Amino acid sequence: MRVLYLTHRLPYAPNRGDRIRAYHTIRTLASRLELEVVSLVHDDHELAQADRLRELGVRVHAIAAPRVRNLAHATLRLAGRRPLTHLLLDAPGLPAALRRIVHERPPDVVLAYCSGMARFALESPLSGFPLVVDLVDVDSQKWAALSQSSSWPKRWIYAREAQHLSDFERRMAQAARSTLVINERERDALRALAPASHLVVMPNGIDCRPLAPGAAAEERPHVVFCGVMNYTPNVDAALWFSRNVWPAIRARRPDARFFLVGSDPIPSLRRLQTPDSGIEVTGTVDDVRPYLWQSAVAVAPLLTARGMQNKVLEALGAGLPAVVSAQVFVGLPPSVHQACRLAVSADAFAKETLSLLDLTGSQRRALAASADLERLSWESQLLPLYRLLSDASAAAAIAV
């Protein structure tokens, strides 16, 4: 079986949520079928990683999505009906690349990662092939939530995106043989848009072995939050925690330190790092694990969150209990709930974080170990995808 996999970001290195899931999808499928990957790339550094994917035994095509051009086009087309998500992922070289692939190696199935790539699967030259979409999250719901908490003009832009993207998500789910989402909440949201579509819950996994700490648990009161630091929900979460929670923690624990670990921190986040704040903003790091291993507690204070937060699973795998918002908690698998503390306000976040810092390192590590991560391996979580692709291919063959 030949599968063409479309991703909106080259899935290497697997150091952010969207890359991680796509990377493990490739690893899971590469030994079972003939896989050809078409990925949009957004800078030269990303382009340079294509050979690392080829080492997995797959064909890889990296197609430039010019950021400045796309941003200008999106701004000019705000009055239209196309989702900005799609306008920002335009790639001038993609149609020709897809035509060559279809001519030389026509796929049995197209697998599209997220709605931004599913739209290419619904257009020529791919529209005649059976489609499976790994939607992961119903992004229109995220934009709707952001529109409620933002000021003008972002409120209008986010509401526009929610409306037009939900229209596309409905059409996409109706056209796909199967649409994958990460948990029951996302399934229910998509079912409300497209009741007759075939929806499958396929959660994220975790690779525990490289996360396992090799040294004793950290005793110092170090708190960590990981994420891409120019992504609006992460930015809002980091600012909210730093301004509304961190002062109460420092008042009780003056020696506490807060690590904001992730690429591309915006200026308002960088300004949080001052000599007396106890906050360190790292920017891009080669490996987040050392920051996890030198921390005592992880936090995920996202006020807008869809799907499942990999950052929480990774923290638990690294031996850290986590304090999480209600929006994050509801997306986590029940098997990890007992290793997490739920906090629904700034006071609760401070209280729960301080209570974990008051434990010994070995007690915190034991709490993190109470999460049942073993059955959340990527292979076990993603293996059903092979059957869904096979079923889509077989159904299309019968229809012909």
Examine the domain organization and report whether 61 and 84 are in the same domain.
yes
Q: Give the separation between CA 201 and CA 261, rounded to whole angstroms.
A: 30
Q: Is the pTM of this model over 0.85?
A: yes
Examine the domain organization and report whether 224 and 190 are in the same domain.
no
At 123 the pLDDT is 96
**Residue 16: which pLDDT band, with cuts at 50, 70 and 90?**
confident
At 400 the pLDDT is 52
Q: Which of 92-101, 117-126, 207-216, 252-261 has the lowest mean pLDDT?
A: 207-216
Examine the domain organization and report whether 199 and 300 are in the same domain.
no
Examine the domain organization and report whether 73 and 160 are in the same domain.
yes
Examine the domain organization and report whether 330 and 307 are in the same domain.
yes
- Nearest C-alpha neighbor of 162 from the set 184, 145, 186, 150: 145
Examine the domain organization and report whether 119 and 230 are in the same domain.
no
pLDDT tens, position by position, 362-378: 999 999 999 999 889 99
Examine the domain organization and report whether 177 and 305 are in the same domain.
no
Q: What CATH code is carried by the domain that includes residue 326?
A: 3.40.50.2000
At 47 the pLDDT is 92
Examine the domain organization and report whether 234 and 150 are in the same domain.
no
Examine the domain organization and report whether 196 and 329 are in the same domain.
no
The arithmetic mean of pLDDT across residues 377-387, rounded, is: 91
Count of CB atoms situated within 10 Å of the CB of 11: 27
pLDDT at 310 over 80: yes
At 62 the pLDDT is 97
The DSSP element (H or E) to which 394 belongs, if any, is helix 384-399
pLDDT at 322 over 70: yes
At 60 the pLDDT is 98
Examine the domain organization and report whether 371 and 382 are in the same domain.
no
Examine the domain organization and report whether 383 and 370 are in the same domain.
no
| Residue 394 neighbours by CB under 8 Å, 6+ apart | none
The arithmetic mean of pLDDT across residues 297-324, rounded, is: 94
**Residue 117: which pLDDT band, with cuts at 50, 70 and 90?**
very high
- Nearest C-alpha neighbor of 299 from the set 335, 323, 315, 275: 323
pLDDT tens, position by position, 240-265: 999 999 999 999 999 999 999 999 99
Domain that holds residue 148: 2-205+378-399
Q: Give the separation between CA 351 and CA 334, rounded to whole angstroms.
A: 23
- Sheet containing strand 279-283, strands side by side: 279-283, 257-261, 222-226, 297-300, 322-324, 340-342
pLDDT at 194 over 80: yes
**Residue 69: which pLDDT band, with cuts at 50, 70 and 90?**
very high
The arithmetic mean of pLDDT across residues 123-151, rounded, is: 95
pLDDT at 396 over 80: no
**Per 3-state DSSP, what percentage of the chain is helix, strand, and coil (rounded to 5)?**
50, 15, 35
- What DSSP line would sit under 23-87, residue for residue? HHHHHHHHTTSEEEEEEEE-SHHHHTTHHHHHTTT-EEEEEE--HHHHHHHHHHTTTSSS-HHHH
SS3 295: coil
At 399 the pLDDT is 60
Summary mean pLDDT of the chain: 95
At 383 the pLDDT is 86
Q: Give the separation between CA 204 and CA 186, rounded to whole angstroms.
A: 13
Number of domains in the chain: 2
Examine the domain organization and report whether 293 and 385 are in the same domain.
no
pLDDT at 105 over 60: yes
**Residue 17: which pLDDT band, with cuts at 50, 70 and 90?**
confident
